Amino acid sequence: MSGREWTWVFAVALFALAGLVLAGISVFETQAVPAALPVAVALLSMALAITAFGIWSKGTYLASRIAILSRSIDASSATAADNRDRLDLFARELADFRQHAREPQPSVVEEMKSIRESFRDLSKRYERDAANAARRVAAPPPQPTMPPRERISLLLEPVIDLTNNFTAHYRARIGMTNELGSELPHATVLSNADRGGLRPSLDLHMAKLALPVIRRLRERHDQMRIFLPLGAATLADGLAIERLAGLIDEWRDVASAVTLEIQHQSLGTLTPPAIEGLARLAQRGVQMGLSGVSIVGLDLPALRKLGVRFLAVDAKSIDAGYGPGPAWQEFAQFGRAMQFQLVVTDIANRTQAASAARIARFASGEYFAPPRRVKAEASDMPVQDRAAA
């Protein structure tokens, strides 16, 4: 009880006591104090009035406190409801991911089964194909050529190690300048080559440009590697694979620094000859990577058996404005446990870079540095520039 309340209690008790004393006097000493009774009544009335006022004041104070507490409870309830909705949303995302991870889609399962069966026969067929290849390489048929007025050049896009913000690897990119001097972006060049049946020639040309560059870069940075895009049409072209294998044999000292990237969406379209071509290249020490990765229906153990070691994810697919969701975080955890390296590509802003750092070690994109044209002397290129802040 506060000091103010004790004051009220003391005043009421004093007036009541005085009233009782005067009332007693009026009863027992009516002759001596004739006016004691009215005074006692007045004192008791005053005590009652003070008591009523105190009760009213206390009630008003309690009512105001109850109103404040009620508003606080309403606000807390609204916040709790919002948090509950968010938790429900995250729980549904996580449950959906786990269902897809534990129960791969039938088409993917069948696809991986077919790939594994093809690999069993590969070792026997390879010896026979190698003997035939020697005769075919001696007199290869003419290959489709690019338009003579278009100039193709190699560009390198830095792949940043997010643990120290330095360039760790490079992704090979193709730039094409037309007769008017306009340059077509990498994605457009690949798309046009796929439609025109020129993808095998383009991939071979890119490898010829990139292999000498990575050899020079590894003279100073022996852990550096280069990512080369490889189309499904190239893998299915037996002659193109033989020429690419011969090129890798020529640069065998840097074969382990090469990672051949194929599109995730192309994985299901690989024919048995394409799978054989992939294995033939893997036997020469190159590693495999998967670009444009989606977590739905992805069979990580099967990819591991195929020799895939790098998984490239588009930045827009992991960050919808509030960071990577639980499904992507769990996917990254599974990937690291199986010794996959995650690369987040096409990062355009600081928010996407922060999200990438939460699930991956490597990243690339305009936010760090755009692709740069390779100079005549690749060794003159700055290799370990610090990434953009």
* Residue-level pLDDT at 273: 83
Range with the largest mean pLDDT of 70-74, 352-356, 376-380 = 352-356
DSSP line for 309-336:
EEEEEEHHHH-SSS---HHHHHHHHHHH
Residue 92 has pLDDT above 90, yes or no: no
* Residue-level pLDDT at 140: 53
* pLDDT, tens digit (0-9, with 9 covering 90-100), for 211-235: 999 999 999 999 999 999 999 899 8
Whether this model's pTM surpasses 0.85 = no
φ/ψ (deg, to 5) at 187: -60, -40
**Model confidence band, residue 177 (pLDDT cutoffs 50, 70, 90):** confident
Question: Which has more confidence, 310 or 188?
Answer: 310
Residues near 365 by beta carbon (within 8 Å), at least 6 away in sequence = 315, 344, 345, 346, 347, 348, 352
Nearest to 214 by CA among 198, 226, 202: 226
Residue 332 has pLDDT above 80, yes or no: yes
The domains located in the chain, with CATH, are 3-81 (no CATH), 106-380 (3.20.20.450)
Residue 200 has pLDDT above 70, yes or no: yes
With a pLDDT cut of 70, the percent of the chain lying above it is 66
- Residue with tokens 């697919």, as numbered in its chain: 317
CB 340 within 8 A of CB 309: yes
CB 150 within 8 A of CB 143: no
With a pLDDT cut of 90, the percent of the chain lying above it is 32
**Model confidence band, residue 269 (pLDDT cutoffs 50, 70, 90):** confident
Range with the largest mean pLDDT of 80-94, 155-169, 304-318 = 155-169
Dihedral over Cα of 194, 196, 201, 207: its sign: negative
* Residue-level pLDDT at 149: 56
Question: Which has more confidence, 338 or 92?
Answer: 338
Q: What is the rounded average pLDDT of the residues 249-260?
A: 93
* pLDDT, tens digit (0-9, with 9 covering 90-100), for 46-75: 767 777 677 777 778 777 878 887 787 777
* Residue-level pLDDT at 353: 92
DSSP line for 206-228:
HHHHHHHHHHHHHTT-TT--EEE
Nearest to 239 by CA among 136, 139, 121: 136
CB 130 within 8 A of CB 187: no
